[in-house]
Structure 1
Amino acid sequence: MGSFKDVVGHKNIIEYIQNAVNANKVSHAYILNGERGSGKKMLATLFAETLLCEEQGSSPCNKCHSCKQTDSGNHPDVIWVQHEKPNTISVDDIRTQLNNDIEIKPYQGPYKIYIVPEADLMTTQAQNALLKTLEEPPEYAVIFLLTENAEKLLPTITSRCVMLKLRNIRDKLIRKYLMEKLEVPDYKADICTAFAQGNMGKAIMLAQSEHFGEIRDEVVQLLKYIHDMEISEIEKAIKRCQTYKLEINDYLDIIMIWYRDVLLYKATKDVNEIVFKDQVSSIKEQATRSSYEGIELILESLEKAKTRLDANVNFELVMELLCLTIKENG
C-alpha cells in the first residue's frame, strides 16, 4: 500500500489523520466524501493500516505483520462491508456485517475497523440501523463511510461523523505523477490530466485505458459535424457509441468538456484554458454559432442523460434525445 508520503494531494486530510493518531483523538466514525477515483479507499486503508500498525507511528511501517495483513486484505480487524444487490445496501447487510459483529472485540489489534464503500447506497432502514451503533459505539470501533454523495446520508448520521472532503488535485501534480510514476508520454499525460478534471483515479484510468483515445476521437467527429448530420447519420453514430456502453460516462464527460470549452471561449475569448487545444478552430466556430442559452441547455441535457442512464432508461432513446438537443442548440 505504501504510506501517506505516496499520496498525491489531500495534504490537509493526511495532516488531520496524523494529528488525530498522534494525539490519540481518533473519532469513532468518519465520512470520506469525494467523487469516484478521488482516493477514498486508499486514504481509508492507510488510516486503518496506521491505527493497527504494531509500530504505533503516524504512518504505517509496511513491515510488521499487521501492516502486511491489512495491505493484503486479510486483517481480521478490518471489515469491508459488502452488498449483494448492485444499487442497495440493505438493513440486513448492515445488521449482519456491522451491527452484530461490532460487539465482538478485536482479534489482535487495538481497533476494529469497518469500511463501507458506496455508503450513500444504504437504505433509510440501513442508515437507521447504523445510527444505533453510531450513538453508542464500542471504544475500539472505527467506522469509515465512503461516499460520492454525502448529502444522501441522513443528517443524524452525518452529525455523528467527522466529514473529510476530498478536493480536486492540482493538474501539475497529476501530470507529474503520470509522467514520473507511470511513465506516460508527455502529450498523453497532458490529455489525461485535462480530462481528469483534478481526479487522480480518473487520470490513471484514462492513461491506462485502451479505448479513451478512440472515444475522444468518436466524440470529436460527432460534435464537429452533428449540426449538418441527417437523423440517419446520428442514429449510426449512436450505434457506434454503444460499443462504449460500459464507458458511457467518459463519453458524456468528453461531450461536457467540449461544451464547457465552447462556453469558456465564448465568454472570455481565451484559448489557454481550453482542454481541446487541438480543436481550437472548431471550438471558436461553435462559440460563434451557439447562444449561451443553447450551451446551457446542452449541459443540462448531459446531466439528465446521465441520470436517465443510471435509472436504466433505454440507452438508444436517451442518446437520441441528447443528440437532437445538441443538433438544435450546438
Structure 2
Amino acid sequence: MSFKTISCQNRIIELFQNAIIKNRLAHAYIFVGQEGIGKTLFSKELAKAIFCQNSRGDACDTCSYCQRISKDNFSDLFLILPEKNSRVIKIEQLKHLQDILNVKPLESKYKIVIIQSADKMNEEASNCLLKTLEEPPSYAIIMLIVTSLESVKETIRSRCQIMRFSPLSVIAVKEILINSFQLDSRQAERLAYLSNGSIERAMLLSHTNAIEKRNWFIDKVLRLEIDDNLAFSKELFNEWHIQDLDTLEEKRSYIKELILLFLLYYRDLLVCKLDNSELPIYYIERRDDLLCKSISLSEDALFSIVKVIKASLEYLDYNANIALLVENMITKILQIQFGNRMNV
C-alpha cells in the first residue's frame, strides 16, 4: 500500500510528498475530518513514506522498513488511542509519550507518534501534550487525528499544522465497498449515497439493514406531531433493537446513526427550502414529500433544528443516558418545528 490507496485527498498527498522530498516536515500536525474517511490510514501511509528506505515522496512497499510498518512492527513508530472500555485518552498515556520521545530514534532520524481520537483527551492529558508540543525534540513528528477542532485546545491547535480531510466521493465509497468488502454493486451504491463519504459509516449501515430502516424512518418522521416525542423515541429504540446490544459503545454507534438520519432529513428540508439544486438530497426518492414539508417550516426553524441535532451528536460521547439524550433531542426538534410554523 502507498498513497495510491488513499482516495479523494490528492491536495494533502501532494503537500506531504513535496514536504518529504524537500525535507520540510513540521513537528506536529492535526488531521481533521469526519470519521471513516481514511485519516488513520493516511497517517500510517505517511509514516511509511517518511521512513521508507527508498522514498521519493511515497512508500516503496518493498523495503524492510515499509514491510515492518505494514505489520505494526517498527521501533520508531508509535500509536496512541483510547484504552479499551475508555472514552478518553488519559494523562498516563501522554506521560508514556514523553518517555518515548525522550529516547532518540533507534533506526531512523525520526520518531513518529500517531494519536488517534486526540479530541478525546481529558484536561490533564491535553496539558501534558501541550508541554511536549512547546518543546518537541528535533526528531519528533506528532500526528493528531480528530473529527472536530472544537474539542482541541486552542493552545494545541496553534502549535500544529492543520490538515482538513474531505469526505470521500460517492464513487470512491462505492468502489471501496465493492473491491475491499465484496458488496454487490447495487448495495454498494445505495450505501455510498447514505454514508456521507464515510467508509466506516457505510459498513455500519450495511450491518443494520439501514436501507429498509431508512424507509421506515422517513415515513414516521414526515408524520410526527408535537406530542409524539416520547412514543417516537421508544419506537426508534425498538426498531433498531438498541436494548439488545451488549455494550454501551455499540449502543452509542447505533444511536449516532439514528441522529445522523435526523440530520440528513432536516438538512434535506433545508435544501428544499432554499431551492438549491446544486446540493444533493439524500432522501431523493421522497423529494416531493420533502418539498411539501419544507413549505411549513421557516429557514430559521430548520437552522435551529440542525443546531440541536449537531449538539446531540457532540453530547453523545459524554452522555451515559442515551435514551434521555434522544428523547430530549426529539422534544426540542418538535418544539421548534411546531412553534415556528409559517402562515401559508
TM-score, normalised with respect to structure 2: 0.82
Instruction: Check whether the contact 2:30–2:161 (CA below 8 A) recurs between aligned residues.
Output: yes
In the other structure, the counterpart of 2:13 is: 14
Query: Could you give the per-residue CA deviations for residues 96-143 of structure 1, whole angstroms, max 9, x where no partner exists?
Result: x21112122222233221111111222343333333333333332211
Matches within 5 A, 1:236-315: 236-241=234-239, 243-244=241-242, 245=251, 246-268=253-275, 270=277, 273-312=280-319, 314-315=321-322
In 2, Cα distance between equivalents of 1:41 and 1:102 = 21
Instruction: Check whether the contact 1:50–1:56 (CA below 8 A) recurs between aligned residues.
Output: yes
SS in 1 for 2:241: helix
In 2, Cα distance between equivalents of 1:24 and 1:31 = 19
In the other structure, the counterpart of 2:91 is: 91
Q: 1:186 to 1:285 in 2, by over 3 A?
A: farther
In 1, Cα distance between equivalents of 2:304 and 2:226 = 19
In 2, Cα distance between equivalents of 1:321 and 1:157 = 33
TM-score, normalised with respect to structure 1: 0.86
Cα deviation, residue 3, structure 1: 0.8
Higher deviation after alignment, 73-82 or 132-141: 132-141
In the other structure, the counterpart of 2:166 is: 167
In 2, Cα distance between equivalents of 1:313 and 1:4 = 39
SS in 1 for 2:15: helix
Higher deviation after alignment, 289-298 or 251-260: 289-298
Structure 2: gaps of 5 or more residues: 243-250, 339-344
Q: 1:204 to 1:17 in 2, by over 3 A?
A: farther
In 2, Cα distance between equivalents of 1:58 and 1:86 = 37
SS in 2 for 1:152: coil
Q: 1:275 to 1:83 in 2, by over 3 A?
A: closer
Cα deviation, residue 204, structure 1: 5.0
In 2, Cα distance between equivalents of 1:36 and 1:286 = 30
User: Percent of counterpart pairs with the same letter?
Assistant: 25
In the other structure, the counterpart of 2:122 is: 123
Q: 1:162 to 1:271 in 2, by over 3 A?
A: closer
Cα deviation, residue 173, structure 1: 3.7
In 1, Cα distance between equivalents of 2:57 and 2:230 = 61
Alignment size in residue pairs: 327
In 1, Cα distance between equivalents of 2:319 and 2:42 = 32
In 2, Cα distance between equivalents of 1:239 and 1:81 = 34
Instruction: Check whether the contact 2:229–2:330 (CA below 8 A) recurs between aligned residues.
Output: no
Q: Could you say what the CA RMSD is over the residues aligned between the two structures, in angstroms?
A: 2.9
Instruction: Check whether the contact 2:233–2:326 (CA below 8 A) recurs between aligned residues.
Output: no
Instruction: Check whether the contact 2:80–2:114 (CA below 8 A) recurs between aligned residues.
Output: yes
Structure 1: gaps of 5 or more residues: none
